[in-house]
A and B are shown apart, each in its own frame.
Chain A
Amino acid sequence: MLRFTIRRVALSLVTLFILIFVVFLMTWLTPGDTARRLAGPFAPQERVDALNEQLGLDDPFFVQFWNLLVSVVTLDFGESFSSPGVQVVDLVQPALWNSAKLVFLALLLTLPISIIAGVIAARKKDTVLDRSIVTLGLASASVPEFVSGVILQYVIGVRLGWLPAISDIPDGTSPLGQIEYLLLPALAIVAVYFGYIARITRAGTISALDADYARTAYLKGLGTTQVLRRHVLRNSLQPTVAVTGTQIGYLFGGLVGLEIVFNYPGLGRLIFRAATTPDFPLLQAGVITVAIIFMICTLGADLIIAWMNPRARMNLGGS
């Protein structure tokens, strides 16, 4: 397991290096005079030139790339372009924490519901219940989260007034109170991922239930619950774990539409703003943060799968 872990971490680091290079290349190739944007259209040229020098924007390509690598290692991306005087890390940190809260709540709601629904659908394969779960899942997954978000926001937030229509959490709100603000966007995420995860769980469970070891377990006289718990779920949930691992990374950085709809200060909105401003240090820090989360989550998922399934460890050179 240790060899497997080391190997996976090494692979992740290589991927991260390539990604950092790609992010750097994209920002480096972006046309326009960055210092002029920062100084403002009315600023004298001398100030623009001084800013170019101060920010190292005149440095050679590899020097700038090296500086970015150093920034990643030291977690010091300097000052934000769009918010002079504010450190990039001070912008990313709260946004990351906000995204983490939303993702955590969404997963807390999504995973149990979806897994239970998927297992039930598998157990009741080809019945009305199975088809209902699959159809409902397909329907909800086909609507983008920001669309279902708008509907939830209007119906529950504006018309019924049951929950806050926007997720701008006031300072000093208790953790329980914060859930109230996060519930609508979290439900919008649940709507999308319920169908996705339930279907994957269903397929994995059907496959596991059809496997020889499940039949053997039944023949040994074990009850359905015991078969599921001891033999089936351990195998059937591996695809679910893998998918969840990759989707968490997306949830951190990809919920731009939903965060705008709910005016929620998450990482996706921050990256979007950095990209449109454009604020290169913030953009680089935001994208690299999402990439690191993505890798940590997929690595975590792989480790869980490896723990669940020794064959996976063997395939990646573990022992």
Chain B
Amino acid sequence: MDWKRLDSARRNAEPLQVDLIEAYAQKRIKRRDFVKRGTILGLSMPFMGAVIAACGSDDDSSDTTEGTDASTGTSVAGGSGAAGGNLIVAIQQGDSSTGLDPVNMLDLGTYNVVSQSFEYLVGVGPDGNIAPTALSTGWTPNETGDTWTFDLRPGVTWQNGSEFTSADVAATMDRLVEVGNAGLDGVIGAGAVDASDPTKAVFTLIEANGNFPVLVSLFNAQALITPVDFANGDTLDARPDGTGAWILDSFDAATFSAKFVRNPDWWGGQTPLDTTELRGFADIGTAVTAMQSRDIDAIQQFSVIGGEGLLNDDSFTVLTPPSANHRQVWFNLAAPDFAQKAARQALAWSLDRQQMVDTLFAGRAEIANDHPILSSLPFYDPDAVEQRSRDIDQAKALLAEAGIENLQVTLQTGDLQEVPQLAAIMEQNAAEAGITISVNTQSNSTFYEAGWCPELYGVESSDPATLPCESSFAFGIVDYGHRPIPDVYLGSALATGGVWNSSNYANADFDAKLSEYRQAVDVEGQKAAIGEIQKILWDDVPAVYPYFYNYLSGHDESVGGVQATALGHTILSSATKG
């Protein structure tokens, strides 16, 4: 231990950052977790490198940058890397009725298009974690974690020539608050950003939040910074602008295809490519075929089922960015089918998760344990609950004990990727425990509107405070995209009154632990609260979480410098082709 260097680091850090340094110095957290957490708290890579060097080696062999390879979602520059050219990326055809509206968009295809021109306050690093690679060059929390100051990147201009300032950030946040953005709901209120200094955006939170920078990063997809005079409902195609590397040249709404040209005034310098084209595909199978025939250069996302041709193609580079993507099998507790906890637990025990992972993902997934906490998160508690694995006897005993006979339910799903097959496996698994499931699959957009949370589409709830999604289907499967921290999964989908709480789950103990987790500014505090949350969810089973699956993206071997995120972004500012 180099105490002199460590003391020097302590003296130059804010109180919350000092706590983290202490935790690492005392070996209470691993190096990888120190880097992840330090990034969130605004520590720079050289600073963390100095702390790690001062503390000497530990049990974690990973270095601070974690490399730049396909397993982080970033491809190294490939081929000759020649300058110029056009790159065609197959993307999911946006099915949102809102068009290219950065505030109201809901699908990965739209995220990808809109984020080519608009940028986030906090970007992503080559290791797949958040990093000061976008409109903020760094951030620091105050001592209590309820005020965060973001330094804005100097010299950034909008594509219309005006200067980017903190007023743009303040206006954007107000718009997000106005529409109840899921990531920021309950975190900030109107007027949360002090924009008196045009080079700094100072956020005052409703309560302390140790993960706040993630909530204004690209992992809150709608948090793209738009100009101060942008209005809720304005779309990128109607009003092309942005601070990003690409200028929207044309957008064909019928095919959901967008063409971009290089932004010569981008703060990041000149992009290697001249132009890019994001081409919408209604069917993922067609996109895979187009990739196989090389009619396109890259593909935003594909599945293991139907994507075998790409996975076995030596000239195709597979990108697997870190992913907490999962499916949530919800039980609407306001409906009678699964009102009894025993019925929910019985269903959870009846499921063969290994079969799901093997059959649906050829092993490219991680078994989950009926809570949305990914095991690689620094605050995940591996000892909180046992891993639930298939136990038909246990399932039958639970049903018998509760006096439940001939349980017959309808499982509602959208036709998204492997979801219908997941439903089919559940149907077979549950039958052995005496639960009869009939599956009803419909188009994903219809499914969303008809039964995920119809209250989002204007249906009135009798009690929005506790039954935010009263009209949800009694039993259904919904998809959740990647978030590096589980705040949205917990707050929006499970907290009392959460905007996406299709389970209508209302548990005061859970809400209290969630509040503790949010306000904890150190890993140990977060872990203590999350461990309790794991226990509550595992026991209550407001929803089944069968697995977390790998996000698959990729491109031809002649392409390089592409970075994918598991939330649908394909970052092309450093991409090369040829």
Which positions in A face B, CB cutoff 8 Å?
32-33, 35-44, 47-48, 80-86, 91, 94-95, 153-154, 157-158, 161, 164-166, 168, 260-263, 265, 269-270, 272-273, 276-277, 279
Contacts and interface: CB of A to CB of B under 8 A. Distances in A.
B279 A165 contact: no
A69 B257 CA distance: 31
B507 interface: no
Contacts of A41: 104, 106, 453, 456-457
Given A168-B279, A269-B282, A270-B254, A38 B97 contact: yes
A319 B107 CA distance: 61
B122 interface: no
B106 A91 contact: no
B179 A43 contact: yes
Considering residues A82, A164, A263, which has the most beta carbons from chain B within 10 angstroms of its beta carbon?
A: A263
B57 interface: no
6 contacts: A39-B98, A40-B101, A42-B179, A43-B104, A47-B233, A265-B252
A1 B315 CA distance: 65
B286 A261 contact: yes
Contacts of B106: 40-41
A91 B254 contact: yes
Contacts of A260: 282-283, 286
Interface string B227-269: 0000011010110000000000000111101000000000000
B54 interface: no
Contact of A158 (B237, B253, B289): B289
A40 B222 CA distance: 13
A40 B289 contact: no
B375 interface: no
Contacts of B289: 153-154, 157-158, 165-166
A44 B179 contact: yes
B290 interface: yes
B279 A40 contact: no
A160 to B, nearest CB: 10
Considering residues A35, A85, A154, A272, which has the most beta carbons from chain B within 10 angstroms of its beta carbon?
A: A85
Contacts of A35: 458
A48 B98 CA distance: 12
Contacts of B233: 39, 43, 47, 84
A81 B97 contact: yes
A83 B457 contact: no
Contacts of B445: 276-277
Q: List the 7 closest pairs (A to B, CB-CB), nearest first.
A: A83-B253, A40-B104, A41-B456, A165-B293, A42-B179, A33-B458, A36-B458
B293 A161 contact: yes
Contact of B254 (A33, A81, A158, A265): A265
B257 to A, nearest CB: 8
Contacts of A95: 254
Interface of B: 93, 95-99, 101, 103-104, 106, 178-181, 232-233, 235, 237-238, 252-255, 257, 279, 281-283, 286-287, 289-290, 292-293, 295, 309, 443, 445-446, 449, 453, 456-459
A157 B95 CA distance: 28
A32 B286 contact: no
A260 B443 CA distance: 15
B104 A44 contact: no
A95 B49 CA distance: 57
Contacts of B449: 32, 37
B104 A42 contact: yes
B99 A82 contact: yes
Given A38-B98, A95-B254, A276-B445, A165 B104 contact: no
Contact of B97 (A37, A157, A168, A262): A37
A287 B443 CA distance: 20
A47 B238 contact: no
Given A91-B254, A263-B282, 18 more contacts: A33-B459, A40-B97, A42-B456, A43-B232, A44-B178, A48-B458, A84-B235, A85-B237, A85-B238, A86-B253, A158-B292, A166-B289, A166-B293, A168-B279, A263-B281, A276-B446, A277-B445, A279-B97
Nearest to B180: A42
Contact of B293 (A33, A38, A42, A157): A157
A47 B238 CA distance: 18
A175 B556 CA distance: 29
Contacts of A153: 289
A154 B254 CA distance: 26
B293 A158 contact: yes
Considering residues A42, A48, A86, A168, which has the most beta carbons from chain B within 10 angstroms of its beta carbon?
A: A42
B96 A164 contact: no
Considering residues A91, A161, A165, A265, which has the most beta carbons from chain B within 10 angstroms of its beta carbon?
A: A165
Nearest to B90: A263
Contacts of B97: 37-38, 40, 81-82, 277, 279
B235 A85 contact: yes
Given A91-B253, A157-B289, A40 B281 contact: no
B164 to A, nearest CB: 25
Contacts of A265: 252, 254-255
A276 B443 contact: yes
B92 to A, nearest CB: 12
A274 B446 CA distance: 12
Contacts of B181: 42
A164 B286 CA distance: 12
A237 to B, nearest CB: 37
A272 B282 CA distance: 10
A137 to B, nearest CB: 28
B352 to A, nearest CB: 32
Nearest to B453: A41
Contacts of A277: 95, 97, 445
Considering residues A43, A261, A270, which has the most beta carbons from chain B within 10 angstroms of its beta carbon?
A: A43
B314 to A, nearest CB: 15
Contacts of B99: 82-85
A90 B287 CA distance: 26
B295 A165 contact: yes
Contacts of A39: 98, 104, 233
B261 to A, nearest CB: 13
Contacts of A276: 95, 443, 445-446
